[in-house]
Amino acid sequence: MSQQEPAGGLSRRGLLGLVGAGVVGAGVASAVTYAAATAGTAASSGAAATYPFHGEHQSGIVTPAQDRLHFAAFDVSDLTKAELEELLRDWSYAASRMMAGLGAGEFGAVGGAYDAPPDDTGEALDLPPAGLTITFGFGPSLFDDRFGLGAKRPAALIDLPHFPGDALVESLTGGDLCVQACSDDPQVAVHAIRNLSRIAFGRASLRWSQLGFGRTSSTTRAQVTPRNLFGFKDGTANLRAEDTALVDQHVWSGGRDWMTGGSYLVARKIRMTIETWDRTSLREQETVFGRTKGDGAPLSGGSEFTAPDFTATGRGGTPLIADTSHVRLAHPSMNDGATLLRRGYNFVDGNDELGRLNAGLFFIAFQADPRTQFVPVQLALARNDAMNEYVRHVGSGIFAVPPGAARNSFVGAGLFD
Amino acid sequence: MSQQEPAGGLSRRGLLGLVGAGVVGAGVASAVTYAAATAGTAASSGAAATYPFHGEHQSGIVTPAQDRLHFAAFDVSDLTKAELEELLRDWSYAASRMMAGLGAGEFGAVGGAYDAPPDDTGEALDLPPAGLTITFGFGPSLFDDRFGLGAKRPAALIDLPHFPGDALVESLTGGDLCVQACSDDPQVAVHAIRNLSRIAFGRASLRWSQLGFGRTSSTTRAQVTPRNLFGFKDGTANLRAEDTALVDQHVWSGGRDWMTGGSYLVARKIRMTIETWDRTSLREQETVFGRTKGDGAPLSGGSEFTAPDFTATGRGGTPLIADTSHVRLAHPSMNDGATLLRRGYNFVDGNDELGRLNAGLFFIAFQADPRTQFVPVQLALARNDAMNEYVRHVGSGIFAVPPGAARNSFVGAGLFD
């Protein structure tokens, strides 16, 4: 197919982005891809798990939370609306291939085109997809006057307010576009972000990004509750994919517009003061959470999945679950029923000059409307949560996550109707 | 045992380090540990794999390379020689526990001691050890005049020379001590470094550290050759644990002193200019490596494990494997037989302000003597390797890795004889 643009493939501009000076067509000599190499073998193992790119919703939201994350926010360069659409088409095409376990794109004849860069960077060439999902979102800034999309900005895609205690670092906030790549293999997630970044060369560039290594939430009942870097079970009361009525109500965007079937993603990079935490007593740690550290049971009694009893009191009428505990302040019953589908990850980015681990939680939550979900819950936490002494919010982003792409279409097509 | 120092346990100073103001004894309420929780169940799966802490050699060298790394270099505070010994005893004790799938240390009565910090930070509480190895090393600076250890400094523990092209960042170099924690689960590796750092509080502090997510070498024949972030197979010609005669010759320190059965670790943080690489032709990429990208076969022909033929020429007498190719310059036959046991990992540390991935290879190699192994090989590469156009060495360390601890002893005991 050499000089021809493949049907549904990358745009010409996408190809130019790939190959720099305009030489079109390149393929890794042997054109080995995992999918090709294993064609005909059973793909039933967890590592070979694949999720659909096309569909009513994007994958990577209620999908069973994979173990590893590479999240990236991008800024769009000086493009026209048509060029932005082209970028989104190219990304969708490459994402659909990578989620299927293929390389980012193949154009050159097998064995030929040595004088052009390879279509795929290669580091995931013999790796199974390991449940890769690639989920795209649009930040508020995409709806400014550059692309004439202002009228399409959803009311729910607010600019997040300043929360008490916020210590945001400008270079870890915002972004016109975001990509959440999750996989059980970090090399597969990194490969996805790297190739999308490569395909966007000259059209969009990385603004900030984050690797996460331990999921801190379960999104299905089959998954055990993991632990955050405070050492506590995290996400015991998370929304689960099986609760379809709750998911319909709290995760998927209502209304009848281009966001129907979409959701809203809020990301917060939350640094933990690990060393201070590690020198506090077990009593203090459990009081802060409102749960036991070992089992994750509420301090009002029972086991992990027992509902917390916020009215239970101990000696002298003191609440067993403190008024400033995280579990109380975050609980739906304290927030007019507001709840979130959390999909966070632990991170460690080396250490600072004082020898403290630069570590914490990369919080990601999906919801139908941040105005009635993330914002009021985070306001309550920011004001009163005893945990605030041990955390600092340094990064932040909000993104409208469109519905899944129809077959032969792309994510965000509704923006260009 | 509350106020008593447990036999073989943490020193009193270690306990003080743990609990701040001197309150001794604490335990997570339920004292759940993975080992306890799964006692009596088979530990045959990969995730439950454990390696011995005690023995002739430290684990983590010829051990089958695990998938994830947390490497840390520490600076020792103003301690006496006896206090340094105490720190090493404490670290060995905690490491031996964690490698067995236990918490870092237990002292308090189960269910009691709520007013002291937990013995273990908890984030690996229900995780299997996943092949955790913790490997300790001593940097040249440990042998300065602070601890009176100058006479014990091995001749092979040189200060690394400056190599052409080095772009070292001071804060990513050196260290009195190093700890290499490897596991197939990153949370387990992070947990190990974090708890060792916590135990060292006031005695040693993190100088620099690195997470790695994709091993770039196989150390046994049972492992497939993984790929680095250039997308090429890496470590095809690595030393393998099965080649015991070669390992004895090239990995384990000779001589009859406290380092007998030890090795020397060289770490290099090598940043790759990913975006430039991704825009070079497949021809250039394969010429740089001297191997094909798809199969990893030498450009002189054959398949991955075919020996490269450096004399083979093509049209016009041009060598099929270029004179400046990485495979030629690094090959033992070009370096008086010098070879290394590599144990490197890929890394991605977010992106820089220009939107470029801060990514590359965290190179780790073990050897009997860096003077005849790493140094001459790296000199040859630094002078002529075509790959230099795409890499930048930003971090560096060299460490004497003592032999394994005898039962009831600790790593580095030979320093204090």
pLDDT tens digits, one per residue of A106-133: 643 334 578 888 889 999 998 999 999 9
pLDDT tier for residue A46 given thresholds of 50, 70 and 90: low
| Residues of chain B positioned with their CB less than 8 A from the CB of A281 | 26, 114-117
DSSP state of A170: G
State what percent of residues in chain B have pLDDT above 70: 87
CB of B20 less than 8 A from some CB of A = yes
pLDDT digits (tens, 9 = 90+) for A256-284: 899 999 999 999 999 999 999 999 999 99
pLDDT of residue B47: 75
Of A228, A186, A178, nearest to A68 (Cα)? A186
> What is the pLDDT of chain B when averaged over all its residues?
88
Return the exposure string of B373-394: e unless at least 16 CB atoms fall within 10 Å of the residue's CB, then b.
Answer: bbbebbebbbebbbbbebbbbb
Among the partner-chain residues B116, B123, B209, the one whose CB lies closest to the CB of A281 is B116
What are the structural domain ranges in chain B?
47-101+128-417
pLDDT of residue B9: 54
Is the distance from CB of B289 to CB of B298 less than 8 angstroms?
no
pLDDT tier for residue A371 given thresholds of 50, 70 and 90: very high
Predicted model pTM: 0.91
pLDDT of residue A16: 35
CB of A41 less than 8 A from some CB of B = no
Q: Do A206 and B114 touch (CB under 8 A)?
A: no
CB of B146 less than 8 A from some CB of A = no
pLDDT of residue B370: 98
Q: Do B346 and A126 touch (CB under 8 A)?
A: no
Query: Does the pLDDT value for residue B21 go beyond 70?
Result: no
pLDDT digits (tens, 9 = 90+) for B131-144: 999 999 999 999 99
CB of B122 less than 8 A from some CB of A = yes
CB of A355 less than 8 A from some CB of B = yes
Q: Do B356 and A206 touch (CB under 8 A)?
A: yes
Among the partner-chain residues A213, A285, A356, the one whose CB lies closest to the CB of B187 is A213
Task: Supply the ipTM of this predicted assembly.
Answer: 0.90
Q: What is the mean pLDDT of residues B324-351?
A: 96
User: What is the CA angle A390-A393-A396, rounded to 5?
Assistant: 160
pLDDT of residue A256: 82
Cβ neighbors of B361 (< 8 A, separation 6 or more) are B216, B228, B229, B234, B270, B272, B344, B345, B346, B347, B391
Min CA distance, A56 vs chain B (Å)?
31
Min CA distance, B336 vs chain A (Å)?
31
pLDDT digits (tens, 9 = 90+) for B194-226: 999 999 999 999 999 999 998 888 999 999 999
